[in-house]
């Protein structure tokens, strides 16, 4: 009987961001069972002990470094509901222009349940992509997510393929999308960790941060959309119903089986944190988020590597720096990136970390600094806490005539030696050929040969005499 009930629940279509109802099915673990689940980050030696919360899965990740500050069941595959739309909007800004017209097809409008989240767009109407982003993030509109997917990739199915490819490229291991909006499907899932990775990309975009932090948005009539209406965000951290300073943005989600899901980004004390909460009861998803953000901001700090770590600095001065350099004083060629940092417990120091040097640079590393040649990877108690890129210095040497910093001069000694040897060989061959040519010289007459030999003896005698001086 229990197996039949679970199967029927998995087969039932329920709606992303559907209003919470009493007696919803799918609550396979009650709040006490969820609270009893282990918090993996609390098992790390000398790590600040994280709070007990009612969510089945939760993570707090620092946005710049990817450092995981709090981890509870972060790799379990769970239903994301409308937090799926974070990926949809990310791909929208990566694959289209804000002024593009998003036209609503029959499939975009009618492939979603009529009582699910929507903003009432009709077939044939169109709005700009920028308006669509607000429709998705503020109004959680399922039909708008579909229309955006069709615009970017030509069809919803092709856009879903793009979602899954992008997730793989980001590094997601426990994610599979089957739609653009988070409507309940058995093969539509992700993990708290994977969604945090996706959210890092999302909240690295200034426009998306603005859209995701909008409490209310006004749609005005146009030639292709005749209605005048407002969208009100359901996110209590965005509207200020639950006040919290430093909020950058967020996205809510709900289905019967996913229960309440929430993604939030907040910035304070030089750290930008991403918090993901899966499978919680309303309104505890907001309270869990506040609890986790407070825990992270109060117990961790960002430490600049270049300013604080003296254990490793590429000392190239013996090879590249000289006051008598014929090219001018070269300066120090290599440097640590000034902005790179590690995230540590406030009770730890950077000297407590361990580091390794890697010459394998990712596309993300090169995007951060095209001149990077290596990176230093830092760990604390076995946990990744940040990195520093090692780059060519752009400030080496004296200023040029144009007023900018002169680029460093690189001298390849091996090539110089090869060139020098080649010059010597060419000189020897040339002299040998010249001598041979002279020795084989032909004279028109006997008297010419006698005069040539006499001049040669006189020159030799003069040269021997000149050496005495």
Q: Tens of pLDDT along 251-274? A: 999 999 999 999 999 999 999 999
At 387, give phi and psi (nearest 5°): -150, 165
Q: Does residue 434 carry a catalytic annotation? A: no
Query: Residue 168's pLDDT is what?
Result: 98
43 Cβ contact list (under 8 Å, min separation 6): none
* Radius of gyration over every alpha carbon of the chain, rounded to an integer in angstroms: 34
Read off φ and ψ for residue 336, nearest 5 degrees.
-90, 140
Residue ranges of domains in the chain: 13-300, 309-392, 417-466
Over residues 339-356, the pLDDT tens digits come to 999 999 999 999 999 999
Looking at residue 257, what is its pLDDT?
Answer: 94
Backbone phi, psi, residue 37, to 5°: -65, 145
Query: Which residues of the chain, if any, have pLDDT below 70?
Result: 1-28, 312-332, 394-417, 431-456, 458-469
Q: What is d(CA 58, CA 38) in angstroms, rounded to the nearest whole number? A: 11
Q: Helix H segments across 231-330?
A: 236-239, 284-299, 305-308, 317-320
Indicate which residue of 41, 57, 82, 330 is catalytic.
Answer: 82
Q: What is the pLDDT of residue 277?
A: 98
Among 41, 30, 60, 6, residue whose Cα is nearest residue 280: 30
Nearest-angstrom CA–CA distance, 456 and 438: 12
State the pLDDT at residue 45: 95
Distance CA 91, CA 425 (A): 61
**Residues paired with 277 in a beta bridge:** 58, 262
Residues making up the chain, counted from first to last: 469
Residue keyed to tokens 């492939």: 111
- Pick the catalytic residue: 140, 199, 330, 393? 140
Active site residue 85: yes
* Contact assessment for residue 156 and residue 150, using Cβ atoms and an 8 Å cutoff: yes
Give the DSSP letter string of 104-121.
PPHHHHHTS-TTSS----
In this prediction, residue 296 carries a pLDDT of 98
φ, ψ for residue 103, nearest 5 deg: -100, 140
Which one of the listed residues 85, 236, 251, 387 is annotated catalytic? 85
73: tokens are 């069941």
Position 411 scores a pLDDT of: 45
CATH of domain 13-300: 3.40.710.10
CA–chain centroid gap for 349, Å, is: 26
Sheet holding 271-280, edge to edge: 68-72, 57-62, 271-280, 259-268, 247-255
How many angstroms separate the CA atoms of 76 and 274, rounded? 18
pLDDT score for 453: 67
Give the pTM: 0.77
E strand residue ranges, 293-358: 300-304, 334-336, 341-345, 354-358
């Amino acid at each position: 009987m229990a197996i039949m009930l679970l199967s029927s629940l998995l087969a039932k279509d329920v709606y992303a961001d559907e209003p919470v109802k009493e007696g919803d099915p799918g609550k396979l673990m009650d709040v006490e069972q969820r609270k009893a689940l282990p918090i993996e980050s609390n098992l790390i030696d000398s790590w600040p002990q994280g709070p007990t919360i009612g969510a089945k899965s939760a993570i707090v990740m620092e946005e710049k470094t990817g450092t995981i500050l709090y981890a509870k069941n972060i790799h379990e595959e769970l239903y994301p509901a409308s937090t799926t739309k974070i990926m949809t909007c990310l791909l929208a800004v990566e694959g289209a222009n804000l002024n593009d017209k998003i036209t609503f097809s029959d499939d975009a409008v009618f492939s979603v349940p009529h009582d699910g989240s929507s903003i009432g767009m009709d077939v044939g109407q169109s709005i700009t992509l920028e308006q669509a982003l607000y429709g998705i993030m503020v109004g959680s509109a399922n039909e708008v997510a579909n229309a955006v997917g069709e615009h970017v990739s030509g069809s919803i199915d092709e856009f879903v393929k793009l979602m899954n490819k992008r997730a793989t490229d980001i590094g997601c291991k426990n994610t599979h999308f089957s739609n653009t909006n988070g409507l309940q499907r058995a093969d539509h899932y992700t993990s708290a960790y994977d969604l945090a990775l996706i959210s890092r990309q999302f909240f690295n975009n200034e426009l998306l941060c603005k859209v995701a932090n909008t409490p209310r948005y006004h749609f005005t009539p146009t030639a292709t959309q005749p209605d005048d209406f407002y969208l009100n965000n359901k996110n209590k951290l965005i509207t200020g119903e639950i006040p919290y300073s430093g909020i950058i943005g967020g996205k809510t989600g709900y289905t019967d089986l996913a229960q309440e899901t929430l993604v939030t980004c907040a910035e304070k004390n030089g750290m930008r944190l991403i918090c993901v909460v899966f499978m919680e009861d309303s309104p505890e998803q907001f309270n869990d988020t506040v609890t986790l953000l407070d825990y992270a901001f109060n117990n961790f700090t960002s430490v600049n590597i270049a300013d604080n770590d003296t254990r490793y600095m590429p000392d190239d001065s013996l090879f590249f720096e000289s006051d008598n350099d014929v090219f001018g004083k070269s300066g120090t060629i290599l440097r640590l990136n000034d902005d790179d940092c590690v995230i540590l417990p406030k009770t730890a120091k950077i000297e407590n970390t361990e580091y390794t040097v890697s010459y394998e640079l990712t596309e993300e590393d090169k995007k951060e600094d095209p001149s990077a040649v290596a990176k230093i990877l830092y760990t604390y108690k076995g946990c990744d806490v940040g990195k520093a890129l090692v780059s060519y210095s752009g400030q080496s040497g004296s200023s040029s005539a144009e007023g900018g910093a002169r680029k460093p001069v690189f001298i390849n000694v091996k090539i110089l030696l090869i060139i020098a040897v080649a010059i010597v060989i060419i000189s020897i061959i040339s002299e040998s050929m010249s001598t041979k040519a002279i020795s084989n010289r032909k004279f028109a007459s006997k008297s010419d040969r006698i005069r040539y030999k006499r001049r040669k003896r006189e020159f030799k005698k003069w040269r021997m005499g000149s050496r005495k001086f």
